[in-house]
Amino acid sequence: MFSKAIRWFGASPPRILLLGFSFIIFVGALLLELPIASTNGESTPFIDALFTSTSATCVTGLTVFDTGSYYSVFGHWVILLLVQTGGIGFMTMATLFALILRRRISLRERLILQESLNQGSIEGLVRLVRKVIFYALAIETVGALLYTVRFMIDMPFGRAVYQGVFHSISIFNNAGFDLSGDAASFAKYSTDLYLNIVSMGLIIFGGFGFIVLADLFEIKSKKKLSLHTKVVLSVSAALILVGAIVIFIFEFTNTRSIGDSGFGHKLLVSFFQSVTSRSGGVSTVDIAELRQATQFFLIILMFIGASPGSTGGGIKTTTFAVLVGAVLAMIRGKEDVVLFRLRLAQERVYKAVTVTLFCIGLVMLGTMILATTENAAFLKILFEVTSAFGTVGLSMGLTENLTSAGKLTIIFMMFVGRLGPLTLTYALGPKAGRPLYRHAEGKIIIG
C-alpha cells in the first residue's frame, strides 16, 4: 500500500509539488508545536501550529497568535525559514543545494521545476533557478539594510538588525508576518514615507515574479521586454493606481481610518493599502475600521493577486489581463484576444476562464463553510476566505476567533491558493488520455 502511494505521488510533477509542500508544512507544524517555539515555554496546540506553518509556507500571514509576542526567537526563525522556502519554492531550494553539491539535475527534476516555476518549457530552467536565488537574496539583503537603518532610530542596533532581516524576508516574499504586535502591522509608521516606500518596493518586486525580474535586470542585453513582462508591469501599475484612487475616495471622510489625516498622509495610506492588498499582507491602518465599500474593493484586489512565478497568490495579473482582453474582443466583434499587438492562443483564454471560475468556486465553497461554522458577519467571512486563498494575510480580526473547523477550512484555502487550483487538480485527478472521438457541434443561446 505504501509503495503504491509513493508511486502515485511520484507519477507527475504536480503530485510531487503537492507532497513536497505538505511535508514542509507538517515538519514546520511539529517544530512550532515544541515548547521552545513559544515565549511561555508551553507546547502550542497542533491545530494552531499547523495553521501557522501553513500560513508561513504558503506565504500568507494569517495568524492565530501575535507573531512577535507569542513565538520565541526559535519560533521566529522557523517561521522565517518556512516563509523563505515557500516563497521561492521548495524545488528551487532543493535545486540550489544540488548545484552547491555539484549534482546533476535530472530530467524529472527539471519537469518538477518547470511546474513549480510555471514555465512553458524546461529550457534554461537551471539558469533561471540561479537567477531566482540571486535576485531573492540580493533584494532581501538590500531590504534588510534599509529597514535596519530606519529601525535603529527606535531600538538598539541588534534589535534593529533582527527586525530588519525578519521584515525584509517576510515582506519580499509577500508573507505578511510582522513583529509589531499591532492589528495594523505598520500603523505607527503610517506617516513614515521612507519605511512605506521600502515596504511597497519589496511587495511590488516580490509580486512581479522572478521571470519579470530577470527580464528587467537583463533589459540592456535583451534590448526589449517579453509580452509577459509588459502585461505584468502594465496591469500591476494600473491596479495600484486605480486601487489607490478608489481607497482614497472611499476613505477620504472616514475618521476611523484616514478622515482626520492630511492630504499627503491620506494619499500615502491609500497607495500602501492598494499595493499590499494584492498579496503583501501588512497594513498601516486597521482593515476592520475601513468602510464596507473599501473592504469589498480590497476583496477584489486580493482575488486578482500578484503575478505568475511570484511569491503571491490570487488568479494572477496575467489571467485578469486575458479576461479583460477577451471581454473587449467580444464587445468589438473580434475573434482574437490581442495584447500589445500580439494575438493570444485560444488555449490561453480557455485556461484563464477555467482558473477564474475554479477560484470563484473555491472562494464560494470556503465562504459557505465558514458561514456555517463561524458566528461572524458575511463580509468579514468573505474577506478572510479571499485573503487566505489569495495568500494575502490581511484580516478583519476573524482569524484568532476561528473554530477548529474554521481553521481547517482556512488552512485548505491557503494551501490551494499557494499550490494553485489547476496544479492541485492535475495532482489529484486521473491522467488525461487522448480523445478517441469528437462530438458534433451544438448551439445554445448566450446572454
Each residue of 233-252: pLDDT tens digit? Answer: 999 999 999 999 999 999 99
Residue 51, domain member (yes or no) = yes
114 pLDDT higher than 80: no
Distance CA 153, CA 163 (A): 13
- Give the residue with greater pLDDT, 123 vs 264: 264
> How many domains does the chain contain in total?
1
359 pLDDT higher than 50: yes
Distances (CA, A) of 147 to 156, 157, 166, 250: 13, 11, 10, 31
Mean pLDDT of 285-306: 93
Find the domain containing 134 and state its range: 8-426
Q: Could you tell me the pLDDT band of residue 142, with boundaries at 50, 70 and 90?
A: very high
Distance CA 140, CA 442 (A): 55
Distance CA 391, CA 417 (A): 6
> Could you give the residue ranges of the DSSP H alpha helices within 256-341?
263-276, 292-304, 317-331
- Give the residue with greater pLDDT, 123 vs 174: 174
Residue 443, domain member (yes or no) = no
Most confident of 128-132, 262-266, 415-419: 262-266
Share above pLDDT 90 across residues of the chain, in percent, rounded to a whole number: 47
Residue 447, domain member (yes or no) = no
In angstroms, what is the C-alpha Rg of the chain?
22
Residue 18, domain member (yes or no) = yes
Residue 435, domain member (yes or no) = no
83 pLDDT higher than 70: yes
Q: Could you tell me the pLDDT band of residue 85, with boundaries at 50, 70 and 90?
A: confident
Tell me the pLDDT tens digit for each residue of 160-175: 999 999 999 999 988 8
Reading phi first (left if > 0) and then psi (alpha if -120 to 50, else beta), residue 306 is in beta
- Mean pLDDT of all residues in the chain? 84
Burial of 306 (0-12, 13-18, 19+ CB in 10 A): buried
Lowest mean pLDDT, pick from 203-212, 317-326, 357-366: 203-212
Q: Could you tell me the pLDDT band of residue 93, with boundaries at 50, 70 and 90?
A: low
Residue 142, domain member (yes or no) = yes
- Give the residue with greater pLDDT, 226 vs 119: 226
Q: Could you tell me the pLDDT band of residue 2, with boundaries at 50, 70 and 90?
A: very low
Distances (CA, A) of 325 to 212, 306, 317: 21, 18, 12
Paired with 338 in beta bridges are 343
Query: In which residue are the cell numbers 516606500 written?
Result: 197
Query: In which residue are the cell numbers 484576444 written?
Result: 337
6 pLDDT higher than 50: no
Hey, how many other C-beta atoms are within 10 angstroms of the C-beta on 241? 12
Say which amino acid occupies 318: T
Residue 225, domain member (yes or no) = yes
3 pLDDT higher than 50: no
Say which amino acid occupies 136: A
Map residue 71 onto helix, strand or coil: strand
